[in-house]
Structure 1
Amino acid sequence: MSEKRRVTQKDVALRAGVSQAIVSTVLTGREGRIRINEQTRQRVLRAMRELGYTPNIAAQNLAGGRSRILGVFTYESVFPTSRKDFYYPFLEGIEEEASRSDFDLLLHTRTVGEGNRRSIYRGGSNRLLIADGTLLLGFMDQAHREELARVIAEGHPCVFIGRREIPGGNLSYVTADYTAATRQLVEYLWALGHRRFVYLAEPNQQESALDRRQGYHGVGELMALEPAEFTRAHFKRLLRAGITAFVLENDRFARKLQGFMTELGLDAPRDLSYVVLGDPLGEEDAAPQWTSFEIPRQEMGREAVRLLVGHLLGRIGFPKQVSLPCTLRLGNSTGPLPQYKHSQAR
Structure 2
Amino acid sequence: MAPPSRKGPTQREVARLAGVSQAAVSQVLNGGEGGIRIPDATRQRVLQAMQDVGYVPNVAARRLAGGRNRILGVFTYEPVFPTSTRDFFTPFLEGIEEAAAELDYDLLLHTRPAPQGGRRAVYHDGASRLRLADGTVMLGLLDDDRRGDLAQLIGSGHPTVFIGRRDLPGQELPYVTADYTAATAGACEALLDRGHERTLYLGTLTRHESAVDRELGYRRAMGRTPAAGQVERVDVVTPDVVSRALRAGVTGVLCENERLTAQWIAAADTLGVGWPQDYGFAVLGDPIYQSDLPAGWAHVTIPRLEMGRHAVRLLANLLSGHPAESRTLPCQWVPGTSLGGRPRTE
Q: Tell me, yes or no, whether TM beats 0.5.
A: yes
Q: 2:328 is matched with which residue: 301, 323, 339?
A: 323
CA offset at residue 313 of structure 1? 2.3
What percent identity do the matched residue pairs reach?
50
Q: CA deviation at 1:76?
A: 0.5
1:213 corresponds to: 215
Bigger Rg over Cα:
2
Q: Is the 8 A contact 1:77 1:117 kept in 2?
A: no
Secondary structure, counterpart of 2:168 in structure 1: coil
TM-score (norm 2): 0.76
Residue 231 of structure 2 corresponds to: 222
Matches within 5 A, 1:115-130: 115-130=117-132
Distance 1:232 1:58 in 2: 57
**1:313 has 2:333 as partner:** no
Alignment partner, residue 189 of structure 2:
187
Amino acid at match of 2:307: M
- The match for 2:253 is 246
- The answer for the alignment partner of 2:170 in structure 1 is 168
TM-fit CA distance, 1:138: 0.8
Alpha-carbon contact 2:252-2:280 (below 8 Å) kept: yes
Aligned equivalents of 2:282 and 2:71: distance in 1? 41
Select 1:96's aligned residue among 95, 98, 116.
98
SS at match of 2:249: coil
Shift of 1:256: 1.1
User: In terms of mean alpha carbon deviation, does 113-122 or 183-192 score higher?
Assistant: 113-122
Q: Deviations over 1:78-100 (max 9, x none)?
A: 42222232222111111111111
Cα distance in structure 2, aligned partners of 1:190 and 1:250: 20
- Displacement of 1:144 in angstroms is 0.5
Report the 3-state secondary structure (helix = DSSP H, G, I; strand = E; otherwise coil) of the residue aligned with 2:337.
coil
Distance, in Å, in 1 between the alignment partners of 2:240 and 2:104 is 56
Structure 1: gaps (5+ residues): 1-56, 339-346
Distance 2:293 2:70 in 1: 38
Quick check: 1:245–1:273 contact (8 Å CA) kept in 2? yes
TM-score scaled to structure 1, two decimals?
A: 0.76
Q: Which moved more, 1:288-297 or 1:105-114?
A: 105-114
**Which residue of structure 2 aligns with residue 274 of structure 1?**
281
Q: What is the CA deviation profile of residues 196-215 of structure 1, one whole-angstrom value per residue up to 9, with x for unaligned ones? A: 11111111121000000000
1:1-346 pair list within 5 angstroms: 58=60, 60=62, 63-110=65-112, 112-217=114-219, 218=223, 219=226, 220-226=229-235, 228=236, 230-285=237-292, 288-314=295-321, 316-318=322-324, 320-336=325-341
Q: CA deviation at 1:150?
A: 0.8
Distance apart, 1:335 and its partner CA: 2.6
Structure 2 unaligned spans of 5+ = 1-58
SS in 2 for 1:333: helix
Q: CA distance change for structure 1 residues 169 and 287 in 2, over 3 Å: closer, same or farther?
A: farther
1:76 aligned counterpart, secondary structure: coil
Cα deviation code 1:104-141 (max 9, x no counterpart): 10011225223251111112212111000000001111
Structure 2 CA distance for partners of 1:201 and 1:336, relative to 1, 3 Å: same
2:316 partner SS: helix
Deviation string, structure 1 residues 219-268 (Cα, Å, up to 9, x no partner):
41111111x2x211221222122111111111111101222343344332
Range that drifts further, 274-283 or 104-113: 104-113
